[in-house]
């Protein structure tokens, strides 16, 4: 519980850092909009190849090999978008915590400068995720448990790969090795951080769900629409904020782990407890 409590404190500190550069919130918004565009361009052709056939048990919908290729391409492209904009957030957070004054343009520019590391990493981690998901869909209960553990281990080991690529200009493999090396003896603290930030995000969306539910349950169509709009907008804002806070936290952890010194904005926190060396 102490680790989780410490993570809540670090989330507040990350919020304090974000307050100095609120324009960085546009980066996850740009990521979302870019993802919609990519999905529209690549998923639409796949949907057009859907074929419905009549079987003894009813209708069956299948997708052609071409459609499957477009879906695979879409998954990889969406992975690249996610990793690139996370890299931009890390770049902005690093600039701020190093004493600079980041902008959306400077953060994205830095991410473009690391494109040779970010894109291969995005393709690698997206592919690993797809393979694990495919295996879990075909596995039994014990297999799903085992693969779930493997997936968690992969995510924990890869937690600081993007900061390693962006901050120290490492390649995707060296970045992963650096991340895994830093977390080899600190996986417990890392998991606590992930759970803690997950709880913060969950608590943020509760008011929207409650308010939206009450307005929908009021029996008024107008109030129901208002409730749904408010809930969706609030949840979207919460996701944007938590995405930014998560990247700031990742950056701070990496900077502390590689230098042994708390970065700018985190000097008064117990950051060392989240990355204590044994």
Instruction: Give the pLDDT confidence of 64-118 residue by residue, as tens digits.
Output: 778 888 889 999 999 999 999 999 999 999 999 888 889 999 999 999 999 999 9
Over residues 41-49, the mean pLDDT reads 83
Q: Residue 276: which pLDDT band, with cuts at 50, 70 and 90?
A: very low
Instruction: Give the pLDDT confidence of 217-254 residue by residue, as tens digits.
Output: 887 888 888 888 888 888 888 888 888 988 888 898 88
Q: How far apart are CA 46 and CA 44, in angstroms?
A: 5
Annotate 210-228 with b (16+ C-beta within 10 A) or e (fewer). eebeebbeeeeeeeeebbe
Model pLDDT, residue 76: 95
Is 70 exceeded by the pLDDT of residue 270? Answer: no
Q: How far apart are CA 276 and CA 260, in angstroms?
A: 10
Model pLDDT, residue 189: 57
Is 50 exceeded by the pLDDT of residue 277? Answer: no
Model pLDDT, residue 252: 87
Q: How far apart are CA 162 and CA 26, in angstroms?
A: 19
Average pLDDT, the chain: 84
In terms of Cβ atoms closer than 10 Å to its own Cβ (0-12, 13-18, 19+), residue 144 is: middle
- Using DSSP, state whether 4 is helix, strand or coil: helix
Of the two residues 268 and 176, the one the predictor is more confident about is 176
pTM equals 0.85
Model pLDDT, residue 56: 57
Give CA torsion, residues 237, 241, 243, 245, to 10 deg: -170
Over residues 10-35, the mean pLDDT reads 88
DSSP code string of 63-123: --HHHHHHHHHHHHHHHHHHHHHHHHHHHHHHHHHTT----HHHHHHHHHHTHHHHHHHHH
Q: How far apart are CA 276 and CA 193, in angstroms?
A: 13
Q: Are 269 and 240 in contact (CB under 8 A)?
A: no
Q: Are 22 and 244 in contact (CB under 8 A)?
A: no
Model pLDDT, residue 278: 42
């Amino acid at each position: 519980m102490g680790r989780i409590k410490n993570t809540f404190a670090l989330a507040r500190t990350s919020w304090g850092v974000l307050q100095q550069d609120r324009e960085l919130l546009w980066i996850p918004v740009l990521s979302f909009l870019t993802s919609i565009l990519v999905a529209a361009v690549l998923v639409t052709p796949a949907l057009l190849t859907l074929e419905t056939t009549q079987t003894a048990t009813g209708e069956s919908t299948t997708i052609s090999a071409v459609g499957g290729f477009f879906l695979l391409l879409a998954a990889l492209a969406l992975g690249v978008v996610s990793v690139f904009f996370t890299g931009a957030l890390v770049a902005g957070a690093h600039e701020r915590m190093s004493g600079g004054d980041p902008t959306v343009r400077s953060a994205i520019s830095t991410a473009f400068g690391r494109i040779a590391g970010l894109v291969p990493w995005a393709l690698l981690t997206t592919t690993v995720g797809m393979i694990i998901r495919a295996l879990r869909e075909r596995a039994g209960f014990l297999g799903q448990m085992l693969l779930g553990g493997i997936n968690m281990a992969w995510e924990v080991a890869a937690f600081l790969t993007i900061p390693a690529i962006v901050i120290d200009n490492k390649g995707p493999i060296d970045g992963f090795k650096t991340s895994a090396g830093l977390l080899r003896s600190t996986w417990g603290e890392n998991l606590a951080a992930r759970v803690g930030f997950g709880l913060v995000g969950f608590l943020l969306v509760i008011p929207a769900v409650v308010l939206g539910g009450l307005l929908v349950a009021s029996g008024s169509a107008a109030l129901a629409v208002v409730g749904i709009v408010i809930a969706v907008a609030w949840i979207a804002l919460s996701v944007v904020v938590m995405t930014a806070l998560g990247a700031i936290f990742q950056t701070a952890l990496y900077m502390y782990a590689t230098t042994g010194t708390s970065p700018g904005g985190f000097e008064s926190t117990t950051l060392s407890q989240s990355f204590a060396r044994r």
